[in-house]
Amino acid sequence: MNRPFASPELGRALLPDPLPDSYTPGHGSLDFSVSRYELHLDYRVATNRLEAHVTVSATASTQLTSIMLNLSGLRVVKVRVDGQRPARFIQRDGRVVITPAGPLPAGSDFSLDIRYEGRPGPLRGNWGDVGWEELTDGVLVAGQPTGAPSWFPCNDHPSRKAAFGFTVTTDANYQVVCNGTLVSRHAKASRETWVYEQSEPMATYLATVQIGRYEIAPLADSQEPAPGGRNEPANVSKVRQLVAAPAVLMERAQATLARQDQMMATFEACFGPYPFHSYTVVVPDDELEIPLEAQSLSIIGRNHLDQRWESQRLIAHELAHQWFGNSLTASSWKDIWLHEGFACYAEWLWSEASGQGTASFRADAARQGLVAKPQDLEIGDPGPELMFDDRVYKRGALALHALRTAMGDSLFFGFLRAWTERNRFGSVTTADLIGLAQELSAGLPGFDAECILHPWLYQSRLPQR
């Protein structure tokens, strides 16, 4: 339990009980939505010292007598609501509760300006350490699912998406990579400021800052023609792709990512246009347990720098999350299979397109692996402790393969493209997916999307096929 930080401006405030996601109790509120976070971070690498303030532009969903944001391990020093001092605020148990001078009516727009400081670090939960993490020489932020409050106050709910602006000042010999597009950078004495804009709505857990001694370079064009796969994708994509890596790792990083451009083209053919303006892969000079994705970028460790299938499938997996998880985000964490099942199936589609085994081959192998594991998990609602269990990934992908088998390729890939187009930058549920599949297959005799998917998602026993 976090120690409460007392504010000189306030007395105690009653901590509200927001309607949370049951997988992440205490995180997020449905009482208001945020349209934009404007983050200003001043960070010193050597001492891991952060001084920051955030401007939050929001709209009340109901009359607000208090406003709850999530923040852990950092001390709030000043709060303003619409430019005015609030009646009080209190910080305790990973939450900041602000009582405005007067109630905010339902439907009203309001702004918060919060200044805070401290030494950020990861938050421990069911999924290990998540959030702000010091590297050997720099910083990595991996927020899924509850790490965002480790470095900024936020309405930490996956359905509460917002635009972001980042202004990050740090030591001049470090490079900063954030979500979105680099707008400007300028140096002053021994400090340098980087400004990024993420205009497409983003869930708070996907916000990130990467700081390191990186070179940033365009992804080298692959000269090898893409093998003719199911969709016969174009050899290259028009999406701007960048690599951020230490100079000593740049050559290996470029070699490892040599076919990413073909992956991008394959996925655009299967899923529709890439949702964002650019895509960056960050390679810190550290070993990472697994690669990580954030909106418009991914992070892979130096231990993933090779061209073996195991590393290449992970590169494909994180890239696919730009469509499934980032552009389309599950409204609640119980539907996590909508992220991980789709990204796993994207691995199989890349295998198919690159001549390394059909999706059916990969599906059979995955099913054989699942047979040997306990059959005690319903992946449509796996519970918080098991939401990242490998069975969620594999059974989710097998559910999609079952849908593809029943629909046929033409309908299935049309359905995937419609799924991403209709829900672009939005929040989705399993019911939405089933409804769209049924709608687009209305002319297919005997087709029932719910009957196909239900055994894979809501029965623990592995279906026969």
Dmax over CA atoms of the chain, in Å, equals 70
pLDDT above 90 covers a percentage of the chain that reads: 90
Supply the pLDDT for residue 465: 67
| Total residues belonging to the chain | 465
- Joined together, the tokens standing for residue 154 give 């936020």
Q: How confident is the model at residue 126 (pLDDT cuts 50, 70, 90)?
A: confident
Same-domain status, 199 and 286: no
Q: Report the alpha-carbon angle 302-304-305, nearest 5.
A: 70
For residue 325, give the nearest of 311, 335, 310 by alpha carbon. 335
CA distances from residue 323 to 58, 273, 309, 346, 413 in whole angstroms, order as listed: 26, 9, 22, 10, 14
Position 5 pLDDT exceeds 70: no
Classify residue 368: in a domain, yes or no: yes
- Joined together, the tokens standing for residue 415 give 């359905």
Supply the pLDDT for residue 286: 94
Classify residue 22: in a domain, yes or no: no
Instruction: Say what the pTM is.
Output: 0.92
CB–CB of 133/53 below 8 Å?
no
CA distance 383 to 399: 19
Q: How confident is the model at residue 127 (pLDDT cuts 50, 70, 90)?
A: confident
CA distances from residue 170 to 73, 116, 284, 353 in whole angstroms, order as listed: 20, 17, 17, 42
CB–CB of 434/288 below 8 Å?
no
Please state the separation of Cα 284 from the chain's center in Å.
19
Mean pLDDT over 136-157 rounds to 97
Residue pLDDT, tens place only, 201-245: 999 999 999 999 999 999 986 434 344 444 444 467 899 999 999
Position 372 pLDDT exceeds 90: yes
Classify residue 267: in a domain, yes or no: yes
Paired residues of 114 in beta bridges: 54, 79
- Joined together, the tokens standing for residue 308 give 């073996």
Position 7 pLDDT exceeds 80: no
Number of folded domains in the chain? Answer: 3
Same-domain status, 79 and 176: yes
Collapse the DSSP code of 391 into the 3-class scheme (helix H, G, I; strand E, B; otherwise coil) and give the result: helix
CA distance 416 to 424: 12
The DSSP bridge pattern shows strands 240-245 and 215-218 to be: antiparallel
Domain boundary (180, 210, 240) is at: 210
Classify residue 24: in a domain, yes or no: no
Position 333 pLDDT exceeds 50: yes
Same-domain status, 338 and 271: no
Same-domain status, 159 and 43: yes
CATH of the domain at 453: 1.10.390.10
Residue pLDDT, tens place only, 396-444: 999 999 999 999 999 999 999 999 999 999 999 999 999 999 999 999 9
Residue pLDDT, tens place only, 256-314: 999 999 999 999 999 999 999 999 999 999 999 999 999 999 999 999 999 999 999 99
Classify residue 447: in a domain, yes or no: yes
Same-domain status, 371 and 402: yes
Supply the pLDDT for residue 233: 45
Which residues span the domain enclosing 53? 32-210
CB–CB of 379/337 below 8 Å?
yes
Classify residue 303: in a domain, yes or no: yes
Supply the pLDDT for residue 220: 87
CA distances from residue 238 to 199, 250, 264, 409 in whole angstroms, order as listed: 20, 22, 9, 25
CB–CB of 458/381 below 8 Å?
yes
CATH of the domain at 254: 3.30.2010.30
CA distance 265 to 380: 30
**Inter-axis angle of helices 409-422 and 260-271, to 10 degrees?**
90
Same-domain status, 314 and 356: no
Residues 24, 286, 75, 124: is their CA dihedral positive or negative?
A: positive
Classify residue 157: in a domain, yes or no: yes
Q: Which residues contact 260 (CB under 8 A, 6 or more apart)?
A: 219, 241, 281, 315, 319
Same-domain status, 293 and 353: no
Supply the pLDDT for residue 125: 82
Q: Report the alpha-carbon angle 287-291-296, nearest 5.
A: 130
Same-domain status, 42 and 171: yes
Supply the pLDDT for residue 229: 44
Please state the separation of Cα 109 from the chain's center in Å.
27
Same-domain status, 274 and 300: yes
Collapse the DSSP code of 327 into the 3-class scheme (helix H, G, I; strand E, B; otherwise coil) and give the result: coil
Q: Which residues contact 23 (CB under 8 A, 6 or more apart)?
A: 145, 332, 333, 334, 383, 384, 387
Same-domain status, 205 and 259: no
Supply the pLDDT for residue 221: 66
Mean pLDDT, the chain, whole residue set = 93
Position 395 pLDDT exceeds 50: yes
Report which secondary-structure segment, H or E, holds 218. Answer: strand 215-218
Supply the pLDDT for residue 123: 95
CB–CB of 246/214 below 8 Å?
yes
Domain boundary (143, 178, 210) is at: 210
Domain boundary (184, 210, 236) is at: 210
Same-domain status, 197 and 336: no
Position 189 pLDDT exceeds 50: yes
Mean pLDDT over 112-126 rounds to 95
CATH of the domain at 105: 2.60.40.1730
Classify residue 73: in a domain, yes or no: yes
Same-domain status, 134 and 245: no
